[in-house]
Amino acid sequence: MQLSSLLVTLFITLLPQALAETINYNFNIVNANLAPDGFSRSTVVVNGQFPGSLISANKGDTVNVLVQNNLTDPTMRRSTSIHWHGLFQARNAHNDGPAFVTQCPIAPNHTYTYGLNLGNQTGTYWYHSHLSSQYLDGLRGPIVNPEDPNLGLYDVDDESTLIILGDWFHTPAPELEAQYKLATNTASVEELPQSGTINGVGRTSTDPQPARPTFTVNSGQRYRYRIINTSAIARFTFQIQGHSLTIIEVDGVATAPLAVDNLIIHPGQRYSVVVQANQPVDNYWIRAPMTARAVPPVPPNWATDSNNVNAVLHYVGAAGAEPTSEIPAISGTPLVESNLVPLTDPAAPGSPFPGGVDKVFNLTFKTGEDPVTGHGWRVNDVQYIPPTTPTLLKILSGAHDPSDFGTNENTLIINRGDTVEVNIFGPRDHPWHLHGHTFSVVKGASGVTNYVNPPRRDVTPSNGNGGITIRFTADNPGPWVLHCHIDMHFEAGLAVVFAEAPTEVVSGPDSVDPGDDWDALCPIYNALPLDEQ
């Protein structure tokens, strides 16, 4: 190789590191009266808005998020913590955010700065409260790294092409949790939000009707839409009338382009799709009907209009109005998850046969009643109940064997470098999310088994009696929770925690050093009266 070529190659390799920045954000966590679907209620939000402020950063950047907890409403949790969904947090587990796994909550009238290092990650992520079911009350928002190997496939990718889906409740989360734990038939409590929202706007069947969100396009341009399901419960079926969706990214993982007409997106999942503005100048329906249960028994007088989750794709030059056509039914070619292929390193870890890994975990989950905890969920007959001392603090204090953790913590030990297979059996449509990693979906909801080039992501749904199989490599020491992303189910115990390489967390090149501000979180929180926790 000529010296000039070598220097160009070296420059390109080092350019992201050379241009890496430190970016600072201020998150003022407040109670604000908002009406996303026409019904006004007190909320828990970032900087007074729903969804919360966009975090945008590039590969290698360090993002510092100063969280100021100014919550005062006693009908909702007043402490908080924030999870940065999809970020690996290498050597940074203390900033992952799940309360009582990696930290104690941030008390009211206190602050904490999350330091987030994006490393080599690019793509679409999001953040949300990870204390109890607090994010039902509004603390959710997007994270975007615009660098992309598929850059040549689209022309526009900015804040105007974010499509943030969500479900919305009129009842504060603590009240819903209390009802859920007391219920024997939970259909009317846990899985029926009042509305579905697109970029913070929804409609019920009874409240004032806010204007639908509008996404404006110019003919001939190609748009990268980043679709994020920030729901606590609901999944959506997404479609744009008359336009194909070419998927190029899944949960932060660049994928081989795959054209579909519609896709189902579960809580926590993200898709980037390229849409070509190649239709006659007009207005077109963007559809995202919401499903909150496999068989929804809607209670009498419930305001939910799950089919009325729509927006408008507006071509420049068309009339400034909603489409004149009827809202179309979902139709055409749907996404089948097993057809997604990662662009790089597509093979699943381990050997290409069942159990061809270092560690295999078989997890069976189900629901049931408990005389003490009420209605709950269990994995291998254990209901996860968060410890009062965070798992990470226990590890830093010397815990490294299963006996060092309570039965209720459902903690599984894995070693650095282990290839790990997790087989999950239970009812369908429970979206399983793993912190600290992406995983290969060796067998997903479609039932197809693939070791060669399976989808890789960080949320995938269960498929009923057949079970699903995921694999990952234990290359990121820390305590990482695997849980159902139906938030009420996680709160009711549907989780396990992988204590990954606990001795390496304490010392060595992959050790975690939280610092004094993190150390102070637990004493401050533990001194709070119950109504401020």
Per-residue pLDDT band at 5 (split at 50, 70, 90) = very low
Q: Are residues 424 and 477 both part of a single domain? A: yes
Task: Round to the nearest angstrom and report the end-to-end CA distance of the chain.
Answer: 62
Taking 60 as the threshold, does the pLDDT of residue 299 lie above it? no
Q: Are residues 278 and 305 both part of a single domain? A: yes
- Between CA 271 and CA 337 the distance in angstroms is 11
Average pLDDT over every residue of 386-394:
98
Per the domain annotation, does 80 fall within a domain? yes
Average pLDDT over every residue of 91-107:
98
Where does a domain end: 298, 315, 342?
A: 342
What is the pLDDT, as a whole number, of residue 184?
A: 53
- Between CA 44 and CA 54 the distance in angstroms is 16
Domain count, the chain: 3
The tens digit of pLDDT for each residue in 53-86 reads 999 999 999 999 999 999 999 999 999 999 999 9
Taking 60 as the threshold, does the pLDDT of residue 400 lie above it? yes
What is the pLDDT, as a whole number, of residue 293?
A: 61
Average pLDDT over every residue of 103-117:
97
- Between CA 448 and CA 423 the distance in angstroms is 14
Least confident of 189-203, 216-230, 347-361, 515-529: 189-203
Q: Are residues 337 and 364 both part of a single domain? A: no
Per the domain annotation, does 349 fall within a domain? no
What is the pLDDT, as a whole number, of residue 420?
A: 98
Q: Are residues 194 and 261 both part of a single domain? A: yes
The tens digit of pLDDT for each residue in 305-342 reads 788 999 999 999 999 889 999 999 999 999 999 999 99
Neighbours of 458 (CB within 10 A): 27
Tokens of 280: 């006659």
Q: Are residues 374 and 484 both part of a single domain? A: yes
Q: Are residues 45 and 120 both part of a single domain? A: yes
Q: Could you tell me which of 385, 411, 392, 380 has the C-alpha nearest to residue 490? A: 385
- Between CA 111 and CA 105 the distance in angstroms is 10
Taking 70 as the threshold, does the pLDDT of residue 298 lie above it? no
Q: Could you tell me which of 209, 303, 232, 122 has the C-alpha nearest to residue 488? A: 232
Q: Could you tell me which of 195, 206, 207, 56 has the C-alpha nearest to residue 136? A: 195
Per the domain annotation, does 7 fall within a domain? no
What is the pLDDT, as a whole number, of residue 117?
A: 85
Per the domain annotation, does 4 fall within a domain? no
Q: Are residues 382 and 264 both part of a single domain? A: no
Q: Are residues 141 and 167 both part of a single domain? A: no
Q: Could you tell me which of 358, 422, 390 has the C-alpha nearest to residue 104? A: 390
Whichever domain contains 267, its CATH number is: 2.60.40.420
Per-residue pLDDT band at 464 (split at 50, 70, 90) = confident
Q: Are residues 413 and 300 both part of a single domain? A: no
Per the domain annotation, does 11 fall within a domain? no
Average pLDDT over every residue of 472-481:
98
Least confident of 189-203, 470-484, 492-506: 189-203
Taking 80 as the threshold, does the pLDDT of residue 295 lie above it? no
Q: Are residues 396 and 505 both part of a single domain? A: yes
> At 176, which helix (H) or strand (E)?
helix 173-182
Report field, pTM of the whole predicted structure over 0.85: yes
Rg of the chain over CA atoms, in angstroms? 22
Taking 70 as the threshold, does the pLDDT of residue 362 lie above it? yes
Per-residue pLDDT band at 304 (split at 50, 70, 90) = low
Where does a domain end: 108, 123, 145?
A: 145
The tens digit of pLDDT for each residue in 241-279 reads 999 999 999 999 999 999 999 999 999 999 999 999 999
Q: Are residues 133 and 90 both part of a single domain? A: yes
Neighbours of 369 (CB within 10 A): 11
What is the pLDDT, as a whole number, of residue 181?
A: 77
Where does a domain end: 97, 115, 145?
A: 145
Percent of the chain whose predicted confidence (pLDDT) is above 90: 83
- Between CA 126 and CA 490 the distance in angstroms is 18
- Identify the residue with better confidence: 118 or 421: 421
- Alpha-carbon 408 to chain mean position: 24
Task: Indicate the average pLDDT of the chain.
Answer: 92
Q: Which domain holds residue 519?
A: 359-527
Percent of the chain whose predicted confidence (pLDDT) is above 70: 92
Q: Are residues 329 and 363 both part of a single domain? A: no
Per the domain annotation, does 93 fall within a domain? yes
Least confident of 5-19, 141-155, 406-420, 487-501: 5-19
Tokens of 98: 């799940």
What is the pLDDT, as a whole number, of residue 6?
A: 31
DSSP state of 19: T
Per the domain annotation, does 509 fall within a domain? yes
Per the domain annotation, does 209 fall within a domain? yes
Per-residue pLDDT band at 20 (split at 50, 70, 90) = confident
Taking 50 as the threshold, does the pLDDT of residue 4 lie above it? no
**Contact of 445 with 461, CB cutoff 8 Å:** yes
Least confident of 153-162, 304-313, 469-478: 304-313
The tens digit of pLDDT for each residue in 166-206 reads 999 999 999 988 888 776 554 444 557 899 999 999 998 88
